[in-house]
Amino acid sequence: FEREAGEGETMAPVVIVTGGSGLVGKGIEWVVQNKPEVVGDAKFVFLSSKDADLRDEAQTVACFKKHSPTHVIHLAARVGGLFKNMRSKVEMMVENIAINNNVLHAANECGVDRCVSMTSTCVFPDKVEYPISEDMLHEGPPHPSNEGYAYAKRMVEVLSRCYNEQYGRNYMTVVPTNVFGPFDNFNIDDGHVAPGLMHKCYHAKKGGDNLTVWGTGKPLRQFIFSRDLAELVLWSTLTYAGKDSLMLCPDEADEISIAQLADTVAASMGFPSDRLKFDTSKADGQYKKTVSNKRLRGHRPDFKFTPFSEAMKITCQWFEDNYETCRK
C-alpha cells in the first residue's frame, strides 16, 4: 500500500505526526503555520489518541492507510514524571513497546521511507561520562526509577536500525534535552521542572506567598524551547538524510542553572525576586547531565536557538492566558 505520483508530477510530502496534540506536536504545528520556509509544500496530519489507539496494531495500520503518509514524525508515548514512572513500570514498558512497534510497522506497510522517532536523554545510562553523546545509549543500564520506560524507548532506536537493514528504510531517532513551551503539562507533582515551577509561581503570585524552590539552585540543565525543537525535528525529517541518532539541544555553554530558571520564570511572570527562596534542606539531584550537540552542529552550525528568556516569556504568557484549559 503506497501512494504513487502520476507521470511527471512530484508528490508533496504527507507527514503524519503521532502525539500531535502534545508539547512537541503543538510546537511542530506552530512552525508549520508560522515558518512555511521550513516545511515547503509538505502537508501535515496531526494525530491524537482520538484518531487511533496506537497500542492497537489494526487501528494504527488503518489510520496510517487512511492518510497515505510519505513521512512519519513519531512523538506519541505513554509518559509521566518520576513517581508515575516508578509506580507503573509494567504499563510504561509494555505500552511504549506496543506503540513503537505498531507505528514503525504501519509506516513500513505504507511504504514510508523516513520515520523520525523521538526518545529522551533520560533513557541513557545512569552512570556515564559527560558529555553524553548519541553512541552511548546502550553502554549501561538506565536509572532504575524509569527502567520500564527507558528500555522501551531504547528499543525504538534498535527497531529503526533493523528496518533500515532489512527493508532499506531511512528510520532514525532524535533525542531532545529538557523541552518546555506552550501546551506543556504544568502539573506540579508529575510534570517536569520548568512547567512545574511556572505553576508554583502562578500560585505564589496569586496568594502573595514566597516561591520556594527545592535545593540550592546550582544544578545545570540544557533546556530547549518546543518551537526550536520542532524546527529541528522537521529539518531531520524533510531535509537531513542521515540515519544516525541526533541529540537536539542548545550548546553546552548555554546550560541554565535551576536558580537562573527560577529567576527567569519569576521575571517572566512579574513575580518579585525578593520572594524567591531556596530550600537547601531538599536534595539537589544530579549537578550536571550535559549532552553533546556536536553531531547536530556538524550539520547545522548556523542554527539559532531562541534566547532562553524570550522563550520563557512566551511560555509563561501562554500558561497564564490558558490557565483554565491547559494540562495541569
Catalytically active residues are 149
Q: Write the DSSP assignment of 291-305 as a string of letters.
A: B--HHHHHH-TTPPP
CB atoms within 10 A of CB 111: 15
Length of the chain: 328
The three cell numbers locating residue 57 = 496494531
Question: How far is Cα 280 from Cα 282, in angstroms, rounded to an integer?
Answer: 5
Question: How far is Cα 21 from Cα 24, in angstroms, rounded to an integer?
Answer: 8
Which amino acid makes up residue 262?
A: A
Query: Pick from 41, 31, 146: which is nearest to 86 by CA?
Result: 146
Question: How far is Cα 217 from Cα 81, in angstroms, rounded to an integer?
Answer: 20
Q: Write the DSSP assignment of 210-240 as a string of letters.
A: -EEEES-S--EE-EEEHHHHHHHHHHHHHT-
